[in-house]
C-alpha cells in the first residue's frame, strides 16, 4: 500500500470503529457482530504498530490504555467546578407542604428573585459517581480532569480515554473550536457486581459500593487497569463553548450533547417540569424507580431551564443559585452489632441475622440485617460489638455490607508479656451453631451447599409455623386475618400442628 492508502485506510478504520463503538456503548444498538469490530480493531492496531506516525489522539486503539504514569499531573480548571446546595424531603410527613418544605422554599426564592410567576426546571438524576471535566479542541478530546477542590484537579486523560462511551472525537463535521463538557463517571451495578466477583476470585480486595469502585478504577496510574473496569459516563452540563452557539436552555444543551455523541440519561428521566409541584412529582417518581435503575443515584438535581434566567440568578460562593440537589434518604449507615442470631425458615434453612442498634437508613428505622449464610459472615468477618455498614435499598431486606475494622473492640492479647503484648479482637469469629436454636435438632450442611438446615423437619416449631404461614399467605390460600404473629401463637400453644388443623 502507498503511504496515501495507509493514511486513508487508518482514517476509515478509525471512523468505522468510532461509529460501531458509539452504536454499541451509547445507543445500545450494535449494527455489526462483535467479531467484526474486533477484526477491524486489530487491523488498525497492526497498522499503527507498523507505522506509529499514523496514530492520532482520537484513535479507538487508545481505549486499551497505555504505559503507567509516575503520578497524575495537576490541571487548573478553565471554569471552576462548582458544587450544589442540598434539599431534603421528609417522606414520613403526610402533608405535601410539610414533606417538601425545602423544595417549596427553593422555588419560592427563585420566583421572588426573578419576579416570575412560574419557573420551568430541567430535572435529572443525581448520579452517584465522580465529577469529570472533558475538554474538546476542534472536536478531539484533549484533556480530562477530576473535580479536585473545584479550582484544580488531576489530569486523568489517559484513563478517561479508556471509557468506551466517552467520545474521543465529536460526532459532528464542523466541531466547535472549544467545548468543555461536565459529567459523572460511574460504574453500573452489574459491572460493579462483576468486578467484585473477579476481585474475590483473585483474592483481591472488594469494593464497598459502585462509587468507590468507580473512584478506585479511575485513579489508577496504569490506564490498562482502568480499561478493564467498565466505567460509564453521563454528561450533565456544558462549561464552555467557543465557535458554536450555546443552546438557550439546559434541556437543549442535553439534546445537543447527545447529538455530539455523549451519553446522556434517557429522556424520560430528565423531563422539564413546572413549579414545586412538578419537581415534587418528579422526585417521588424517581424515588420509586431508583431500585430498578441500572446505576446508583443519591437524589435528583433541578436546574432552572432557561440559561438567561440562570445568568440572572448567578452564584453564591461555590454553588449556582439556579440549581439544587434534592437528596434521597441515604441507603447506607453505620451502626453497632448487638448480637448475631439465627432464623429458621420454612425449609429449615438457617439464616444468621445481625441484631443492630436502631439506625435510620433508606427512610426507615432498621434493627435487623440479614447476613445471608455462614460463608458470608465469615467472609465479611462480622462479629458482635462491630461497627458495620448497613444497607437498605428500596424494599430489599437490609443487609450488612462490611465491617468498619478500625472500630472493632480489641483487648490485650492473652499470653503476651509486658513488652510484646499485641491486641486481639474482644469477640470471637462467628460460627454457625451445631444445633437448631429453636428445636435443638442437628444442623446439617450438605457438601457444596451454602445453606445450612435444621434437620428437625415439621417437628421444629419454626419450620411448622413458617409452613403454615406459607400456606395461609398471599401466594397460596390467601387467608384473611391469619398473619405471622397469630400463626406463631397458634403453633406455640399447640393448637395447630399442621395445615390440616386449621
Q: What is the DSSP letter of 70?
A: S
**In the stretch 300-339, what mask flags binding to ligand IVH with x, by CB under 6 A?**
-x------------------x--x-x--------------
Q: Of the two residues 304 and 400, which places its CB atom closer to ligand IVH in the complex?
A: 304
Residue 152: Cβ within 10 Å count: 16
Q: Which of 23, 35, 34, 44 is nearest to 167 (CA)?
A: 23
Q: What is the maximum alpha-carbon separation in the chain?
A: 93
Sole window of 36-44, 79-87, 101-109, 249-257 interacting with ligand IVH (rule: CB under 6 A) = 79-87
Of 55, 126, 327, 380, catalytic: 126
Q: How far is the CB of 79 from ligand IVH (least distance, A)?
A: 10
- Output the residue with the shortest Cβ distance to ligand IVH: 131
Q: How far is the CB of 247 from ligand IVH (least distance, A)?
A: 16
DSSP-based three-state secondary structure for 40:
helix
Angle, helix 210-218 to helix 189-202, in steps of 10 degrees: 70
Under rule CB under 6 A, residue 290 binds ligand IVH: no
Q: How far is the CB of 36 from ligand IVH (least distance, A)?
A: 35
Under rule CB under 6 A, residue 374 binds ligand IVH: no
Cα–Cα distance for residue pair 398/390, rounded to 1 Å: 7
Q: Which of 25, 72, 127, 295 binds ligand IVH (CB under 6 A)?
A: 127
Q: How far is the CB of 44 from ligand IVH (least distance, A)?
A: 34
Q: How far is the CB of 236 from ligand IVH (least distance, A)?
A: 4
Sole window of 63-71, 126-134, 246-254, 329-337 interacting with ligand IVH (rule: CB under 6 A) = 126-134
Radius of gyration of the chain measured on its C-alpha atoms? 28
Q: Exposed, middle or buried, 94 (CB in 10 Å: 0-12/13-18/19+)?
A: exposed
CA of 354: how far to CAs of 361, 419, 425, 484, in Å? 15, 37, 18, 21
Residue 55 designated active-site: no
User: Strands 410-412, 399-403: parallel, antiparallel or unpaired by DSSP?
Assistant: unpaired
**In the stretch 50-69, what mask flags binding to ligand IVH with x, by CB under 6 A?**
--------------------
Cα–Cα distance for residue pair 435/441, rounded to 1 Å: 5
Under rule CB under 6 A, residue 82 binds ligand IVH: yes
Q: Of the two residues 308 and 500, which places its CB atom closer to ligand IVH in the complex?
A: 308
Q: Which of 481, 444, 483, 484 is nearest to 462 (CA)?
A: 484
Under rule CB under 6 A, residue 83 binds ligand IVH: yes
How remote is the C-alpha of 341 from its chain's centroid?
Answer: 30
Q: Of the two residues 62 and 237, which places its CB atom closer to ligand IVH in the complex?
A: 237
Sole window of 61-69, 122-130, 217-225, 372-380 interacting with ligand IVH (rule: CB under 6 A) = 122-130
Under rule CB under 6 A, residue 144 binds ligand IVH: no
Cα–Cα distance for residue pair 76/72, rounded to 1 Å: 13
User: Strands 85-87, 323-327: parallel, antiparallel or unpaired by DSSP?
Assistant: parallel
Q: Which of 58, 107, 124, 180 binds ligand IVH (CB under 6 A)?
A: 124
Sole window of 12-20, 125-133, 410-418, 468-476 interacting with ligand IVH (rule: CB under 6 A) = 125-133
Residue 288: Cβ within 10 Å count: 10
Evaluate whether 430 touches 373 at the Cβ level (below 8 Å). Answer: no
Cα–Cα distance for residue pair 183/131, rounded to 1 Å: 6
Q: Which of 16, 237, 251, 389 binds ligand IVH (CB under 6 A)?
A: 237
Evaluate whether 271 touches 123 at the Cβ level (below 8 Å). Answer: yes
**In the stretch 179-218, what mask flags binding to ligand IVH with x, by CB under 6 A?**
-----x----------------------------------
Q: How far is the CB of 320 from ligand IVH (least distance, A)?
A: 5
Beta sheet of 232-242, edge-to-edge order: 140-146, 130-137, 178-186, 232-242
Residues forming the active site:
126
Binding site for ligand IVH (CB under 6 A): 82-84, 124, 126-127, 131, 147, 184, 236-237, 301, 320, 323, 325
Amino acid at each position: 500500500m502507498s503511504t496515501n492508502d495507509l493514511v486513508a485506510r487508518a482514517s476509515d478504520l478509525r471512523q468505522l470503529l468510532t461509529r460501531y463503538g458509539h452504536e454499541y456503548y451509547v445507543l445500545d444498538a450494535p449494527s455489526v457482530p462483535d467479531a467484526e469490530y474486533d477484526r477491524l480493531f486489530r487491523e488498525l492496531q497492526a497498522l499503527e504498530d507498523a507505522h506509529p506516525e499514523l496514530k492520532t489522539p482520537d484513535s479507538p486503539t487508545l481505549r486499551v490504555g497505555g504505559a503507567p504514569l509516575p503520578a497524575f499531573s495537576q490541571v487548573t480548571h478553565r471554569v471552576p467546578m462548582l458544587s450544589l446546595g442540598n434539599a431534603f424531603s421528609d417522606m414520613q410527613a403526610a402533608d405535601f407542604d410539610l414533606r417538601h418544605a425545602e423544595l417549596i422554599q427553593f422555588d419560592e426564592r427563585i420566583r421572588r428573585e426573578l419576579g416570575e410567576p412560574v419557573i420551568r426546571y430541567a430535572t435529572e438524576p443525581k448520579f452517584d459517581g465522580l465529577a469529570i471535566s472533558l475538554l474538546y479542541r476542534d472536536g478531539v478530546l484533549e484533556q480530562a480532569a477530576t473535580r479536585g477542590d473545584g479550582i484544580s484537579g488531576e489530569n486523568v486523560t489517559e484513563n478517561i480515554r479508556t471509557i468506551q462511551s466517552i467520545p474521543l472525537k465529536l460526532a459532528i463535521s464542523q466541531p466547535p473550536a472549544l467545548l468543555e463538557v461536565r459529567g459523572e463517571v460511574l460504574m453500573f451495578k452489574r459491572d460493579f457486581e462483576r468486578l467484585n466477583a473477579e476481585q474475590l476470585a483473585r483474592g483481591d480486595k472488594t469494593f464497598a459500593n459502585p462509587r468507590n469502585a468507580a473512584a478506585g478504577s479511575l485513579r489508577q496510574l496504569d490506564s490498562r487497569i482502568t480499561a478493564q473496569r467498565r466505567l460509564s459516563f453521563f454528561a450533565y452540563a456544558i462549561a464552555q463553548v467557543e465557535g458554536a452557539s450555546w443552546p438557550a436552555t439546559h434541556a437543549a444543551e442535553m439534546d445537543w450533547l447527545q447529538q455530539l455523541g455523549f451519553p446522556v440519561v434517557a429522556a424520560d428521566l430528565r423531563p422539564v417540569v413546572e413549579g414545586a409541584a412538578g419537581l415534587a412529582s418528579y422526585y417521588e417518581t424517581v424515588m420509586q424507580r431508583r431500585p430498578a435503575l441500572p446505576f446508583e443515584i443519591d437524589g435528583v438535581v433541578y436546574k432552572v431551564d432557561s440559561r438567561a434566567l440562570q445568568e440572572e440568578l448567578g452564584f453564591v460562593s461555590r454553588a449556582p443559585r439556579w440549581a439544587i440537589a434534592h437528596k434521597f434518604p441515604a441507603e447506607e449507615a453505620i451502626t453497632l452489632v448487638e448480637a448475631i442470631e439465627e432464623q429458621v425458615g420454612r425449609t429449615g434453612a438457617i439464616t444468621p441475622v445481625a441484631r443492630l442498634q436502631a439506625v435510620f437508613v433508606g427512610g426507615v428505622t432498621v434493627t435487623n440485617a440479614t447476613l445471608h449464610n455462614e460463608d458470608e459472615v465469615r467472609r465479611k468477618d462480622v462479629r458482635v460489638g462491630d461497627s458495620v455498614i448497613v444497607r437498605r435499598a428500596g424494599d430489599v431486606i437490609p443487609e450488612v455490607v462490611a465491617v468498619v475494622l478500625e472500630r472493632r473492640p480489641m483487648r490485650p492479647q492473652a499470653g503476651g508479656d509486658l513488652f510484646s503484648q499485641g491486641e486481639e479482637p474482644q469477640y470471637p469469629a462467628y460460627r454457625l451453631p451445631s444445633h437448631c436454636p429453636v428445636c435443638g435438632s442437628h444442623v446439617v450442611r450438605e457438601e457444596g451447599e451454602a445453606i445450612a438446615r435444621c434437620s428437625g423437619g415439621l417437628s421444629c416449631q419454626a419450620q411448622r409455623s413458617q409452613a403454615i404461614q406459607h400456606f395461609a399467605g398471599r401466594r397460596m390460600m390467601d387467608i384473611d386475618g391469619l398473619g405471622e404473629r397469630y400463626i406463631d401463637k397458634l403453633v406455640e400453644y399447640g393448637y395447630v400442628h399442621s395445615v390440616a388443623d386449621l
